[in-house]
């Protein structure tokens, strides 16, 4: 529940209540003043240092402690907010960020997803059914080959056609050439089908080129952006989402973020990292590996991500969960059981498996999800 002022972070500590409270006492100093408590002036201890506001045993083991921080320590910056949440304490074992809750005041600097679930559905003209997403791959194809793929996917009714997250500006598929070719291909297909498939180029790039690449996308006529916040920092997403002149939906890829959730006793919970943080950074749809594929997330972790994209967060729009990996026809029902219809199914290699007619294979998935409208 969001506090009246400032923001709270709920940490899970290994061990029992006494150990957790002792460590939480250290942590509230570590995350703010990073200074010995006995040397910290009273006025600073009272106005800057975090305060323990609640604690409870965690059913999964360990003990949860919630710490409240004043809004001002985060300076209205996502970078400094993350620093207060977990900067130094990320280096200590046996502490995990389970969730955070921001007051209206602390949320003020963050607009969150510009489109969110409703906005993305409106863009696609798909008010209720599950959405479909795929990636242009494998890396190594030429812009022309990628564009032919994009055309087929759009023809088959895939809603969101994104660059594979490994496509940046390689000589075999230069950024500008690829974007122009794929935009044209998807537009051609849309003209035939009457659908509104979106092409989302990858703007994960060196810092000084991200914004330029994003605006190049807009000028070329593409309709969304892919970014990997683990590679660029989450603030890159925030910056793009906040840009009124850009105004494009943003889908995130989890590259390099795995280390934050690989230990159940460290890093961030799936709920906080993929659900809450992505949304705070303005991501409209968050890609993550669903259970049952070649990655190791559990069904419960995936469900927690979906909850995090929807959890009440002031006026911030909910984002879309976009589970990838292991999506097969026969798994649709069990995935809908967990995610509901507000989900984007990301289908990669499985679209290529049945044969070269990608439009036909795409269309079979499209028919499948249309049954759930």
**Contact pattern from residue 92 through residue 131 relative to its own copies, giving x for each residue in contact according to CB under 8 A and a dash for the rest:** xx--------------------------------------
Binding to its own copies in span 230-259, by CB under 8 A: 230-233, 235-236, 238-239, 254-259
Shortest Å distance, C-beta 127 to its own copies: 32
User: Does residue number 373 form part of the binding site for its own copies (CB under 8 A)?
Assistant: no
Binding footprint of its own copies, residue count (CB under 8 A): 83
Binding to its own copies in span 121-180, by CB under 8 A: 135, 137-141, 164-166, 168-172
| Beta carbon nearer to its own copies, 70 or 318 | 70
User: Does residue number 262 form part of the binding site for its own copies (CB under 8 A)?
Assistant: yes
Shortest Å distance, C-beta 225 to its own copies: 14
**Contact pattern from residue 46 through residue 85 relative to its own copies, giving x for each residue in contact according to CB under 8 A and a dash for the rest:** -xx-----------------------xx-x-xxxx-xxx-
Shortest Å distance, C-beta 95 to its own copies: 9
| Beta carbon nearer to its own copies, 139 or 187 | 139
| Beta carbon nearer to its own copies, 45 or 184 | 45
Taking a C-beta distance cutoff of 8 angstroms, is the pair 251, 224 a contact?
yes
Shortest Å distance, C-beta 329 to its own copies: 17
Three-state secondary structure of 239-307: HHHCCCCCCCCEEECCCCCHHHCCCCCCEECHHHHHHHHHHHCCCCEEEEECCCCCCCCCHHHHHHHHH
Shortest Å distance, C-beta 2 to its own copies: 22
**Contact pattern from residue 191 through residue 220 relative to its own copies, giving x for each residue in contact according to CB under 8 A and a dash for the rest:** -------------xxxxx-xx---------
Binding to its own copies in span 308-347, by CB under 8 A: none
| Beta carbon nearer to its own copies, 278 or 318 | 278
5's CB contacts (< 8 A; 6+ apart) are: 70, 71, 103, 105, 106
Q: Find the binder of its own copies among 127, 128, 244, 353 (CB under 8 A).
A: 353
User: Does residue number 28 form part of the binding site for its own copies (CB under 8 A)?
Assistant: no
Shortest Å distance, C-beta 267 to its own copies: 4
């Amino acid at each position: 529940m969001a506090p009246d002022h400032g923001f709270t972070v709920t940490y899970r500590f290994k061990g029992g209540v006494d150990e957790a409270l002792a460590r939480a006492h250290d942590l509230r100093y570590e995350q703010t003043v990073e200074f010995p408590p006995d040397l910290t002036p009273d006025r600073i201890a009272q106005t800057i240092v975090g305060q323990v506001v609640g604690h409870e045993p965690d059913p999964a083991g360990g003990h949860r402690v919630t710490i409240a921080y004043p809004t001002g320590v985060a300076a209205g910056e996502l970078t400094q907010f993350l620093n207060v949440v977990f900067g130094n304490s990320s280096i200590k074992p046996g502490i995990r960020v389970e969730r955070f809750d921001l007051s209206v005041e602390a949320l003020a600097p963050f607009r969150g997803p510009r489109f969110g679930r409703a906005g993305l559905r409106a863009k696609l003209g798909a008010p209720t059914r599950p959405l479909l997403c795929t990636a242009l791959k494998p890396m190594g194809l030429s812009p022309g080959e990628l564009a032919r793929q994009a055309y087929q996917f759009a023809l088959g009714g895939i809603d969101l056609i994104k660059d594979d997250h490994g496509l940046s500006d390689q000589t075999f598929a230069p950024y500008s050439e690829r974007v122009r070719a794929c935009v044209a291909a998807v537009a051609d297909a849309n003209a035939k089908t009457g659908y509104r498939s979106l092409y989302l180029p990858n703007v994960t790039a060196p810092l000084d080129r991200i914004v330029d690449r994003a605006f190049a996308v807009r000028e070329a006529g593409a309709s969304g952006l892919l970014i990997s916040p683990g590679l660029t920092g989450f603030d890159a997403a925030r910056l793009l989402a906040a840009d009124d002149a850009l105004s494009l939906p943003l889908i995130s890829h989890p590259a390099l973020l795995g280390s934050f959730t690989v230990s159940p006793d460290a890093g961030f919970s799936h709920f906080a990292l993929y659900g809450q943080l992505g949304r705070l950074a303005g991501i409209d749809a968050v890609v993550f590996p669903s259970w049952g594929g070649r990655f190791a997330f559990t069904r419960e972790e995936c469900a927690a991500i979906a909850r995090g994209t929807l959890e009440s967060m002031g006026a911030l729009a909910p984002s879309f969960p976009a589970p990838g990996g292991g999506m097969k026809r026969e798994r649709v029902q069990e995935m809908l059981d967990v995610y509901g219809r507000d989900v984007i199914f990301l289908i990669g290699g499985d679209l290529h498996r049945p044969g070269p007619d990608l439009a036909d294979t795409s269309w079979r998935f499209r028919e499948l999800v249309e049954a759930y409208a």
